[in-house]
Amino acid sequence: MTARDTEIVRELAKRYMEMALSEKQQRMNRRMRDTNDLKITRPPVLLDEIPWYQMDIDGELTCLCEDPGARGVEYGFRIALYRWKYFKADTLFEPFWRVRMSYDSTGMGISRDETIIRSDEYNNIVSHSFRDVLEDEQAWANTYIQKYQCQNGEERILPTCPVRLGSHGAFALGKPVMYGENNEEILETLGYTGEEIAKLKENGTIG
């Protein structure tokens, strides 16, 4: 990372912090908290799914850093400042910057079977067409999806966990435990007599 890269990122970070600590952002923070606390207030208005590659007006989103890592941080700052300038809405800019952890992954062995439709190669907003797993013979053969007979006689199709330990076989769907089903058994282990349990049922303490 060159000295010029450092200077660019620091200047953008300074502008970002001035924005994040502004009075408007303090009000935004309170509004977000009130909304999350279910208080009666104006709901926040957020604007997402923005085609950023089409929004570069007068080079305001053009990165100048040479280092790839610095360019990533620079681009994030530029997007935040661009939002603040042109369409604030109720976007909350927190007074710190999140740095993603660096890691490598071999994946978990599960991937989406889909067709991606995009208007052009630069667009980050795409459409997805997923293949229906209910038609996948391998999913049925591996019992990743199973048929289940409900207590009312209706049949449903339920997914099971596709990740399994070698010591375990297919996941078996069984009758779900009903609310209060084991009340008597648990109370007996706690020392309640049959007469005491009957009284608890009678007065509605247990079902």
Q: How confident is the model at residue 132 (pLDDT cuts 50, 70, 90)?
A: confident
Report how far residue 145's alpha carbon sits from residue 69's, in angstroms, rounded to the nearest whole number. 42
pLDDT at 2: 93
Q: Provide the mean pLDDT of the chain.
A: 87
Give me 68's structure tokens. Answer: 């790839």
Of 56-70, 94-108, 162-176, which gets the smallest average pLDDT?
Answer: 162-176
3-state SS class at 105: coil
Give the residue-averaged pLDDT of 142-155.
86
Q: How far apart are CA 128 and CA 116, in angstroms?
A: 5
> Residue 45: which of 94, 88, 79 has the closest Cα?
88
Confidence of residue 121 (pLDDT cuts 50, 70, 90): confident
**Kind of pairing between the strands at 114-117 and 127-130:** antiparallel
Residues 148 and 76 sit within 8 Å (Cβ to Cβ)? no
Residue 63: its pLDDT value, please?
Answer: 95
Give the chain's end-to-end CA distance (angstroms, integer): 68
pLDDT (0 to 100) of residue 158: 87
